[in-house]
Amino acid sequence: MSDILRELLCVSEKAANIARACRQQEALFQLLIEEKKEGEKNKKFAVDFKTLADVLVQEVIKQNLENKFPGLGKKISGEESNEFTNDLGEKIILRLCSAEAETVELLSKVLNGNKLASEALAKVVHQDVSFTDPALDSIRVDIPQDILGIWVDPIDSTYQYIKGSADIKPNQGIFSCGLQCVTILIGVYDIQTGTPLMGVVNQPFVSQDPNTLRWKGQCYWGLSYMETNIHSLQLHIPERNGTETPSQLTENTSSEAEAHGFSAVISTSEKETIKAALFRVCGDSVFRAAGAGYKSLCVVQGLVDIYIFSEDTTFKWDSCAAHAILRSMGGGMVDLKECLERNPEKGLNLPQLVYHVPNEGASGVDQWANKGGLIAYRSRRQLEMFLSLLIQNLVPADTNT
């Protein structure tokens, strides 16, 4: 199974190379934007774009996995349609060809005959990428290939990718917006149970060389299957308020620690009632950031305890990858609405997000929306304590409406 995970890491790195290559030249990048058709739009945005980079990344992931593991490419679902229409009105189905010259020819049709751009992109697409991580060699687990399904978000936070801000300063390690919020998400789940099994989150734009302006990235991965739980990082929890970590603070039973022992990352579009409750629970440790994948990554990295989102505008491809990594760390991702309605005294299991069944009565992308919102967390005990405080602080806000 380390072979499939290793290939996921390789294709995520190739995807990151494509994202960086497309973003590196502004003249090239302007050619890569095509407004999404109605029905594909995420309703959270007034204008939603897909880019050629998005589609290239998704098709590269599909084709590379299919070549190495026949049948697996057909198990991949993602956000993007691979159909483009050029200025001549020709509909082109974008796919990865076996030969670089064929890919150049196909890309030329999409790019209205721009040969130089097509050659540059085809070169990156066909470039071999290797990925080494000694921890992968220790994985000895057999997961049947026929139970695997894969969700891909080729470039999460497309708006930040298009905008391309590179000079945003982080707040306690967290970027509110900018290229650092862009992620490539590959999540593997069990098609029978919907449980996330493997996840890869690639962050293509982590640091920029001030002289060459070239970007370097970082990749995170995790595997959780039966008794095997392994991930790419030993969790580092940054210190705050002296030497106490968030875990130590949550174990402190004083009212002050309960009020300020948690940190959370939220969307700028979060509901006022949720924000008000969070500020009562977390104090000043509430951070805003772009990108569902990036906000989940902040939890994986230990920069915050919780990522919470009450809206229904994240999707299975946004959450599956990070969910798998968090599971490998002892955490998870749950349905917020069900958590708020749950009676903890009855000892019911936490409502983990699942990835194998569409929402009843929904159509288009809404079939795969996380309808009840979500909470990403690292520790079940922390989540239980956080939920208890959140519910207590939501009550006054709700009674006033």
Which residues line the annotated binding site for Mg(2+)? 79, 153, 155-156, 318
Structure tokens, 258: 């309960």
Say how many CA atoms lie within 13 Å of 253 toward its Cβ.
0
Catalytic residue at 137? no
Q: How many Cα atoms sit within 13 Å of 316 on the Cβ side?
A: 26
Mark the binding-site residues, compressed into ranges. 79, 153, 155-156, 318
Cβ–Cβ contacts within 10 Å for residue 257, how many?
15
- Please state, in angstroms and as integers, the Cα–Cα distance from residue 226 to each residue in 18, 75, 86, 320, 381, following that order: 35, 22, 48, 17, 21
Catalytic residue among 7, 13, 59, 79: 79
Residues 51, 103, 158, 195: which is the catalytic one? 158
Largest CA distance in the chain: 68
**155 part of the active site:** yes
Tokens linked to 64: 């590379």
Alpha-carbon distance 289 to 183, whole Å?
13
Annotated catalytic, 61? no
Whether residue 375 contacts residue 292, with contact meaning beta carbons closer than 8 Å, is answered with no
Burial of 343 by CB count in 10 Å (0-12 exposed, 13-18 middle, 19+ buried)?
Answer: exposed
- The sign of the dihedral angle between the CA atoms of 356, 362, 368, 369 is negative
Dihedrals φ, ψ of 291, to 5°? 85, 115
Active site annotation includes 90 = no
The SS3 of residue 72 is coil
The answer to whether the CB of 69 falls within 8 A of the CB of 4 is yes
Reference 307, options 316, 318, 295; nearest CA is 295
* Active-site hit among 18, 61, 150, 155: 155
CB 299 within 8 A of CB 265: yes
Q: Is 48 an active-site residue? A: no
Q: Three-state DSSP class for 164?
A: coil
Annotated active-site residue 273? The verdict is no
Residues 186, 318, 335, 375: which is the catalytic one? Answer: 318
**Which one of the listed residues 7, 153, 190, 311 is annotated catalytic?**
153
Residue 298: CB atoms within 10 Å: 25
Secondary element (H or E) of residue 199: strand 196-208
Which residue among the candidates 7, 13, 54, 335 is catalytic per the annotation?
54
- The single residue of 59, 80, 156, 311 carrying the catalytic annotation is 156
Please give the angle made by the CA atoms of 96, 182 and 83, to the nearest 5 degrees.
Answer: 35
Q: Is 318 a catalytic residue?
A: yes
Any idea which residues carry the catalytic annotation? 54, 79, 153, 155-156, 158, 318
